[in-house]
Amino acid sequence: MSTLLITGANRGIGLEFAKQFHSKGWKVFGTSRSLSNAKKLMDIISNENVLVLDVSQQDQLKAVKDQLYKRNIILNCLINNAGIMTDRVGIEKVSQDDMVQAFRVNSAGPVMLVHNLLPIFDNGCKIVNISSLKGSINDNTSGGYYSYRMSKAALNMAVRSMSMDLQKKNIAVYALHPGWVRTRMGSAIAPVSKKRSVNGMIDVIDQLSISDTGKFYNFKGEELPW
């Protein structure tokens, strides 16, 4: 049985990943910042596989690794899904505190989780980082969203660096753009459903190999510009 860990799995895209991977027979571990917010996740996977994690907290990152290690868990896939959008403002109202918090969660968090989980990645493991087209410098034609854009661009750079560092271990690293999805973050007017987005991303993950490591794709499997 293949095993994966999904961060931010208590709602939105993360919860949909848990549903679809569980239905495919995977052993799913999911994280939430609190167990009280993870009731829907607990309806899908075993309660003991729901782990408390705020990816911006170093002690919690280590605690998740320790819990999995003690249970002799080997991961075949990690989905770095947890993320925040702290603001949507332009240059007139941008906040340094917002930018720092977005970086801690969206950029540093995934890197530090990978750092902690290195001992339990299987040979051939796939590390999937949920990024955004808003992190593409080439695609930015509208401005704004400083915290979110900058933190996702930083995540994309981390994907390239991790892909170089981990290729020798036969561990592949990718960035995926889920599309504009109808979630709390994406809003009710977004054109893509969670089911369609996640189904597409799982198909992309299945098709990617180590030869594709370090690349940026959307949920349709199209390679995106950095």
Residue 201: pLDDT over 90: yes
Beta-bridge mates of residue 216: 175
Average pLDDT over residues 27-51: 98
Q: Please tell me the distance from the alpha carbon of residue 205 to that of residue 47, in angstroms, as a whole number.
A: 26
Q: Please tell me the distance from the alpha carbon of residue 150 to that of residue 169, in angstroms, as a whole number.
A: 29
Q: What is the pLDDT of residue 184?
A: 72
Residue 93: pLDDT over 90: yes
Using one digit for the tens of pLDDT, what is the confidence trace for 116-159?
Answer: 999 999 999 999 999 999 999 999 999 999 999 999 999 999 99
Mean confidence (pLDDT) of the chain = 96
Confidence of residue 97 (pLDDT cuts 50, 70, 90): very high
Q: What is the DSSP string of 138-198?
A: TT--S---HHHHHHHHHHHHHHHHHHHHHGGGT-EEEEEE--SBSSTTT-TT-SB-HHHHH
Confidence of residue 40 (pLDDT cuts 50, 70, 90): very high
Residues 152 and 106: beta-carbon distance below 8 Å: yes
What are the structural domains, with CATH classification, of the chain?
3-218 (3.40.50.720)
Distances (CA, A) of 9 to 80, 165, 199: 10, 27, 15
Using one digit for the tens of pLDDT, what is the confidence trace for 5-21?
Answer: 999 999 999 999 999 99
Confidence of residue 113 (pLDDT cuts 50, 70, 90): very high
DSSP-based three-state secondary structure for 42:
helix
Q: What is the pLDDT of residue 139?
A: 95
Residues 115 and 41: beta-carbon distance below 8 Å: no
Residue 189: pLDDT over 80: no
